[in-house]
Structure 1
Amino acid sequence: MNDFDAIAAKYLDAFNTVDADERGRLVAELFAEDVSYADPMATVSGHAGVDAFIAEAHRRFPGWVFALAGPVDGHGDQARFTWGLGPEGEEPPVVGFDVIVVDGGRITRVHGFLDRVPGA
């Protein structure tokens, strides 16, 4: 059985890690080597692709953080959760949700959606 709350928390930890070495360690620990990630901003695969995607988010939104914005809902090998991205402690200007597929405790696929984007 998957602990989707813990997986979502680790997912957001990885997305919030600025240090490249630490982020690489977290990505390798949490995501399967052949992970596929797709959202309206990018489609990437593998650890290097996910790591580069996260690094680009930090470059585009310096100092902003990802935070869980509701409960994690999961069954079987998949879960979904809403997140916000913005300055810590403020209403996030960016809100989205991700659907993850997990195998053996590691994320194999991410399907991301954006619900609110400034200027969109």
Structure 2
Amino acid sequence: MTDFAALAERYVAAFNETDAIARKRLVSDLFTPGCRYVDPLADVTGHDGVDGFLGAAQEQLAGCEFRLLGDVDAHHDRARFRWAAAPAELWAAGGEPPVIGFDVVVVDADGRIDQVHGFLDVFPG
């Protein structure tokens, strides 16, 4: 059985990994080769697609740190969780993150992410 809380932590860690080689390794470990990631800003497939999206997100949100918000809710092969992105100084000050969303992931039999359905609750215009 998949430990979805640990999986969500690793998922968020991939968003925070700025070393390209380490990020590619995380993506390869976390996602199936044929995975699909869909949110309002992206629709990508495969390891290269996800890695490219993560790199683009880091550029767009330069200086932000991604964190989980609250608990992971899971059943069967699916989980949902909230996350946010904010600069470290905003996290330290307890301010409201400028980016908040939630993702639903579907895993395969080995516990690797095969699908991500992402939603943005708060995103700067």
CA drift at 1:49: 0.3
Q: Which residue of 2 aligns with 1:46?
A: 46
CA drift at 1:105: 1.2
Which of the residues 90, 113, 117 maps onto 1:111? 117
Cα distance in structure 1, aligned partners of 2:118 and 2:49: 15
Unaligned 5+ segments in structure 2 are none
User: What residue identity is the alignment partner of 2:65?
Assistant: V
CA drift at 1:2: 1.0
2:71 is paired with a residue whose SS is: coil
Cα distance in structure 1, aligned partners of 2:18 and 2:96: 21
Cα distance in structure 2, aligned partners of 1:91 and 1:106: 31
| Structure 1 moving runs of 4+ over 4 Å | none
2:52 is paired with a residue whose SS is: helix
Cα distance in structure 2, aligned partners of 1:9 and 1:34: 21
Which of the residues 87, 102, 107 maps onto 1:102? 107
Cα displacement string for residues 35-64 of structure 1 (whole angstroms, at most 9, x for unaligned residues): 000000010000000000000011111110
Cα displacement string for residues 15-46 of structure 1 (whole angstroms, at most 9, x for unaligned residues): 10000000000000000000000000010000
Q: Which residue of 1 aligns with 2:21?
A: 21
Alignment of 1:1-120 (within 5 A): 1-88=1-88, 89=91, 90-103=95-108, 104-119=110-125
The normalised TM-score by structure 1 is 0.96
User: What residue identity is the alignment partner of 2:45?
Assistant: S
Unaligned 5+ segments in structure 1 are none
Cα distance in structure 2, aligned partners of 1:59 and 1:15: 11
